Amino acid sequence: MPLRLTHLEEPGTARFELLGDLDHYWADILLEAVEAALAEDTGLRDVHLHCAGLTAVDSSGLSALLMIRRRTGAAGVRLHIEERPLRLERLLELTGTLDYLTTPEAGGQGAGPARQHQGATAEEQIPGRPRTTDGH
């Protein structure tokens, strides 16, 4: 299933809702979208990836997440990988990347407690301007 991204912005925050497969066909779409957000918003402090809608993640998808972590960390931006489905949680555990990708320190300096668990609440929803990108 093609990856569909919805990108919402608020000053200092970029939020991406992922729906579909994060695999070798579509992983670059997510990476490019996050890189564009990092380039466009010099005041960016947090990038949120809401993953509840992911249907599959392969090694290319994991590689994209690791590259996003490197890019956000280099920019001093905190990365939040939220609402992780069980298949993604297992992949991160099996590959030893769970802590690297999900600790409160994932990115920005002095990051406070991160809310990076399953079941995000309504307060974590970031209002903003939706932009939808289809993986076609």
Prediction pTM value: 0.76
Q: How much is the mean pLDDT over the chain?
A: 80
Of the candidates 102, 105, 77, the residue with the CA atom closest to the CA atom of residue 92: 102
For 82-93, write each residue's pLDDT tens digit: 999 999 999 999
Say yes or no to pLDDT of 118 above 70: no
Pseudo-torsion of CA 126, 82, 119, 8, nearest 10°?
20
For 63-78, write each residue's pLDDT tens digit: 999 999 999 999 999 9
Distance CA 88, CA 75 (A): 25
For 11-50, write each residue's pLDDT tens digit: 899 999 999 999 999 999 999 999 999 998 778 999 999 9
Residue 19, SS3 per DSSP: strand
Q: What angle do CA 118, 54, 88 make, to 5 degrees?
A: 60
Q: Which pLDDT belongs to residue 103? A: 82
Q: Are 130 and 7 in contact (CB under 8 A)?
A: yes
Q: What phi and psi values does residue 35 have, to the nearest 5 degrees?
A: -60, -40
Distance CA 106, CA 121 (A): 21
Q: Which pLDDT belongs to residue 1? A: 82
The rounded Cα 24 to chain-centroid distance in angstroms is 17
Of the candidates 111, 109, 110, 61, the residue with the CA atom closest to the CA atom of residue 84: 61
